[in-house]
Chains A and B, each alone.
Chain A
Amino acid sequence: MTAHARSRQGRRGLAALVCGALAAGGLAAAGASALEPGSARASSHREAPLISGQPQYDNTDVYAFVSPDKPDTTTLVANWTPFEEPAGGPNFYPFPEDAQYDIHIDSDGDAQGDLLYRWTFDSKVKNGNTFLYNTGQVTSLDDPDLNFTQTYDIDLLKLKDQKVVSTKKLANDLPVAPSRVGDASMPDYKKLRDQAVRKVAGGGTSYVGQADDPFFLDLQVFDSLYGGDLSQVGDDTLKGYSVNSVALQVPTAEIRQSEKQPTVGVWSTTQRKNAKGGYTQVSRLGNPLVNELVVPLKDKDKFNASSPWNDADFLPYVQKPELPKLLEKVYGIKAPAEPRKDLVSVFLTGVKDLNQPPNVRPAEALRLNTSIKPSADPKRLGVLDGDTAGFPNGRRLADDVVDIELQAVAGELVGAKNDLGDAVDANDRAFGKAFPYLALPTSPTHAPAAKGGGDNTSMRGALGGGSEVRAPSSDGSGGSDAVLIASAAAGAAGVLLVGLGLAWWRARRRGAGGVL
C-alpha cells in the first residue's frame, strides 16, 4: 500500500467503501479476483493472444517409399494437424484455405527442389443457415447431408535453379474425405475413404483427408534421460489420434533423375499467407525428429523457415551432436568419436552405396533409392535390421524411426551395438495393403467415452458434428494430458534433453513455447 493511499483511506474505510459500492451496484457474482486491480485493462493496451492454436499449419511427418504393391510407383505422404481427437471438439478438422502444403523432390542431389507438388484447399458450406458439419447421415462424398465439404487442387511445379519453369495441374477440385464424426453420422467411413481415392493427371493416384496418425512412440522414454522411470514406457502416446493427410502415388519415372540415378531427396514445407498477402514458410520437414534431435533449441524456428540449400548452417550440429554425450551419461553407452560421419550420412547425404546420390550437396531431406525393391518381410528397424527398403532409405509408415534414430545416434552404425527404444514397436492400427495405406481414423463412437460437459463449439461458431457431437474430456486425466504435455514439449522441444536444447519429439509445434 502506498503511503499516499493509506493517508487517503484506511483499510477499514476501503472495506466499507467496497461493501457499500458492491451492494449498491448490485453485483451478483464477481469473482474475488475481479476486483483486484493490477491487470492491464486500459483501452489502449490490448492484451492479444500469445498462445494460439493453429495446428493446421503444423506439419508432423513426411513419408516416401516404393509402393509395396506397385513397385514402379513411389508413394509420398505428409501429415498436418496433429492430435485430432475422436472424442472431442472441434470434431472436424478443416484443411486451411490460406496455406500451401508442399512436397519437394530433389532428383539430382544438389539440395534444390526439381519438382514441387503443391496442395491447396477450398471449403464450401451447402446450408449457410446451420453450423452443423452434417445435417443427417452421410453415406457418400456427395451426400447432401454433408454440409461442410472441402476440395483440393494439386499443382506440379517444375523448377530450375529454384525458379519455376512450368506448372501443371494434376488435380482440380477433387473431394477431401471428411473428418470421421461417428458411426451414427457416417455408418461406413471406409466407403467415404474409398470414394476419396482418385486418379490424377500424369498417372498418379491421390488421397486427401483424415487418417489415423501413423506415427507411434512413447514420449516417456525420453524422460529417462533425466531420471524418469523407464518401466513406464510402452504406451503409444498418439494412440487414437488422427491427422490430416495428403497422399500421392506417382510413377517413379516421373520423379527420379534416371534409372542410373534413382535416388530422390524428399521434404515438405508449409507456406502460410501473411498479412501483406505474400506467403511465409512456417514449417519444414524431412527426416523425422531432426529439428528436435539435432537442431539446438534456439534454431528450431530458423530451421522451419530455412531451405535445404542453406543446410551447411546446421552441419556442425550433426557432426558434433549433444545427444550421444547425454546417452553416455544416462545409459553408459560410450559416445562415438566425432565428427559423426555416420549421422551426416543418415541425415544429410544419404548412406553411401545405398541412398546417396553422386556429388550430393549435404542437405536435410529424406533420401529414397527408388530402385530398391519393396521388402517381402519389412523390418521395423529398416536398414539397421538389414532391410534396405526402410528408413533411413526413405521412410515407410511402419518404420520405427524413434528406435532407429536413438540407436543410430548412440552409434549403432559405427559398431556401438545397442537396443535403445521406447518399447512401442508398431502403430496401434494396422496399415492398409494398398494405396493410401493409411489406417482409418478412429471413430468417436469407438473412442473411450468422454466425460464432462461441453458445448461443442468449433470453428466459425459451432460447426458441430451434427448428431455425433460429444462432450470433450474435461477431467484432465489420462491420455489427453499425455498429449497436452507432448504438445507442450513439442513446441518447446526440450522435455527430453534437458540442458541441451534438443528434443526427441517431432515437428508438432514450431518454435518455443507450447500448445495449451
Chain B
Amino acid sequence: MARISVRSAVAVVALALALTSGALVVGGGPGDDGAGRSTPAAVGPAAPLDGLRGGDLDRGVEALRTRLREQPKDFTSWATLGTAYVEQARTRGDPALYRAADRALDRSLELRPGYDAALAGRAAVAAARHDFRGALRHAEAALAENPYSERALATRIDALVELGRYGAASRAADEADERRPGVPVFTRYAYVRELRGDTASARRVLERALDGATAPGDVAYVATSLGQLAWRQGEYKAALRHCGAALRADSTYLPALECRARARAARGGTAAALAGLRDVVGRQPLPGPLVALGELYEAKGDLGRAREQYRLVDVWAALARANGVDPDLDTALAEADHGDRAEALRAARAEWERRRTVHTADALGWALHVNGRDEEALRYARRATATGFKEAAFRYHRGMIERAVGDEAAARGSLTSALRLNPGFSPVGAREAREALRSLGGDAS
C-alpha cells in the first residue's frame, strides 16, 4: 500500500522533472535488494575508513553486498550493511533505504540472535523513523549485551533527547563519553549541552571533535554543526568560516550549503543567499530550506516566488501524509506560517502527544497561536524556553504569543532577546519581531 504510493510519488516526480528541465533522475525506486543506486557526485578519498562521505559509503556498501553474496552467513557484515544503509539514508535523504536496512539487520539477527551490533542498527533505524521509544528499547538491548557499543551509546542519547528526557540524556552522554569518546558521541554530547543552554561547552566539544576528525564526512558534519551553533548565536562570520571548512571537506554537503546561505542572508548578502538556497532545494527540496528560501523572497517583496516555495512545502506535507508519515516539525511549523494552519495544529498536537520536547512544545505553542488560541499557546511557549536552550525562533514565538495575550513587558523582553541573540533567525520572523517591538514601544534597532 505504502509502496504503491511511494512508487507513484516517484513516478510523479520523475514526470515533473521531465516536464521542467529534463534533469537526470537518480535514486529511483528500491530494487530487489532494497538499495537505491546512485552515482556519487564526487568520489571522495578511497580510504576504507572514511565513513561518511557518499562515495566511500557507496563503495563500502557495494563491497559488503558483494561479500554477502559470497558469504551469506556473515552476520557481522549484515549488521554493518544495515547500519551503512541508515547512514546512506541520512546523507542522501533517501528513506527507501530504511527498508533495506531492516532486511539486512533482520538477516543478521536471524543468523545471530541478540547480536549487539544488529540491535544497535535497529535502534538507529527506529530513530531515523522517529520511533524514539523503539530506538531507546533497541539501544538498551544492545547495551545490555555490550555496554561499550559506540552506536548504541550514541543512539540512546538521540532517543532520550527526542523524548525530551534531557536529564537522562545528559547522564547517557557522560557515560558514552567515558566509554567511547569520538565523533559520534561528541556531536551528541555537544547537542545535549546546547539544549541546556551551555553553548560554551557545546562549542568546546565540537572543536575537540573537529581536531580529531580526518574523514571528510566527519569534518563536514562537525564543522557544519559548529557553523549552525555559531549562526544560532548570531555569530555569522564564525558560521561562514566553519561552513567554509565543511565545504572544503565535502563541497556537496547540503547542510553546510544551507548553513552558509542562512549566514549570508543574515549578513545582508541576499543575492548569494538566494543562489545558495536555490542550489540546496534544487538538490533536496526539504521544508527547512524551502521555507528559508520562500522567506528570503518574501522579505525582498517577491511574493510570487515566495508562494512557490511554500507550495512545495505543502506538496511535501501532502506526499508525507499520502505515505502514512506524519510530517516532521519543520513541516508543521512551515504550514503554521505559510500553509494549512489547522493541519499544522493537528500535526503539532499529535507530535506533542508522542514526545514532549522543547521543539514539540514550541511547534504546538506556535500552531495554537496561529489558530487563535493564545492563552493555551503561552503554556507551551514557556515550556519551550524553559531549559535555557538559546534558540531565537523559540523566543520570537513566545514574544508574539505574550503580545497576543496582552503581556507587553514580557513580549518586549522575549522579542528583544530573540533579536539580540540571532537577528537573522528568519527574514520574515525578524521583520515581524521588529514591527511588534516597535508597536510595543521597544527598541527594535
Contact = CB atoms under 8 A, between A and B. Distances in A.
Interface of A: 1-2, 4-6, 8-9, 11, 14-15, 17-58, 82-85, 88-91, 93-94, 96-99, 131, 223, 226, 228, 272-276, 278, 280, 282, 297-302, 304-305, 450, 452-462, 471-474, 476, 480-481, 483-485, 487-489, 491-495, 498-499, 501, 503, 510-516
Given A31-B27, A498-B111, A41 B77 contact: no
Given A46-B191, A48-B221, A516-B61, A226 B248 contact: no
Contacts of B52: 49, 51-53
B42 A455 contact: yes
B74 A512 contact: no
Interface stretch (B85-93, B372-380, B415-423, B431-439): B85-93
A304 to B, nearest CB: 7
Contact of A50 (B9, B124, B190, B216): B124
B316 A37 contact: yes
B10 A36 contact: yes
Nearest to A280: B181
A516 B47 contact: no
Interface string B6-29: 101110111111011101111111
Contacts of A4: 321
B38 to A, nearest CB: 7
Contact of B45 (A44, A48, A457): A457
B330 to A, nearest CB: 5
Contacts of B323: 1, 36-38
Interface string B304-339: 000011011011111111111101111000000000
Main secondary structure of the interface of A (DSSP, over half): loop
Interface stretch (B141-149, B395-403, B405-413): B141-149
Contact of B162 (A34, A44, A94): A44
Contact of A30 (B2, B127, B225, B282): B282
A299 B130 CA distance: 30
Contacts of B9: 14, 18, 35-36
A53 B57 CA distance: 11
23 contacts: A5-B318, A30-B283, A36-B13, A39-B90, A40-B130, A49-B52, A50-B83, A51-B87, A89-B46, A90-B214, A226-B71, A276-B177, A276-B178, A297-B115, A301-B150, A302-B146, A457-B248, A472-B44, A484-B64, A485-B77, A494-B75, A512-B149, A516-B87
B181 A274 contact: yes
Interface in B76-132: 76-77, 79-80, 83-84, 86-87, 89-90, 92-96, 98, 111-112, 115-117, 120-121, 124, 127-130
A49 to B, nearest CB: 5
B42 A274 contact: no
Contacts of B29: 32
A49 B95 contact: no
Contact of B86 (A50, A97, A458): A50
A513 B151 contact: yes
B149 A511 contact: yes
Contacts of A31: 25-27, 38, 92, 94, 283-284
A474 B55 contact: yes
A260 B16 CA distance: 84
Nearest to A494: B76
Nearest to A97: B211
Contact of B80 (A11, A455, A491): A491
A38 B283 CA distance: 17
Given A1-B322, A11-B5, A516-B56, A21 B312 contact: yes
B154 A50 contact: yes
A18 B129 CA distance: 24
B217 A489 contact: no
A39 B90 CA distance: 8
A22 B312 contact: yes
Given A17-B318, A22-B20, A35-B9, A96 B212 contact: yes
B12, B27, B52, B314 — most chain A CB neighbours (10 Å): B12
A30 B285 contact: yes
Query: Counting chain B CB atoms within 10 Å of each CB, which of A45, A97, A498 scores highest?
Result: A45
A461 B60 contact: no
Contacts of B95: 33, 36-39
A488 B80 contact: yes
Given A25-B308, A28-B282, A273-B181, A511 B46 contact: no
Contacts of B34: none
B19 A23 contact: yes
Contacts of B115: 297, 501, 512
B328 A41 contact: yes
Interface in B173-222: 173-174, 177-191, 205, 208, 211-219, 221
B121 to A, nearest CB: 8
Given A2-B322, A228-B70, 6 more contacts: A17-B311, A39-B128, A41-B328, A47-B128, A298-B146, A495-B76
Contacts of A514: 60, 64, 76-77, 80, 83-84
Contacts of B217: 49, 53
A512 B146 CA distance: 9
Nearest to A454: B43
A88 B51 CA distance: 15
Contact of B8 (A11, A84, A495): A11
Please list the 10 inter-chain residue pairs (A to B) with the smallest Cβ-Cβ separation, ordered nearest first.
Answer: A516-B60, A492-B76, A472-B46, A512-B117, A301-B148, A53-B215, A44-B359, A89-B45, A461-B248, A37-B320
B282 A29 contact: yes
Contacts of B272: none
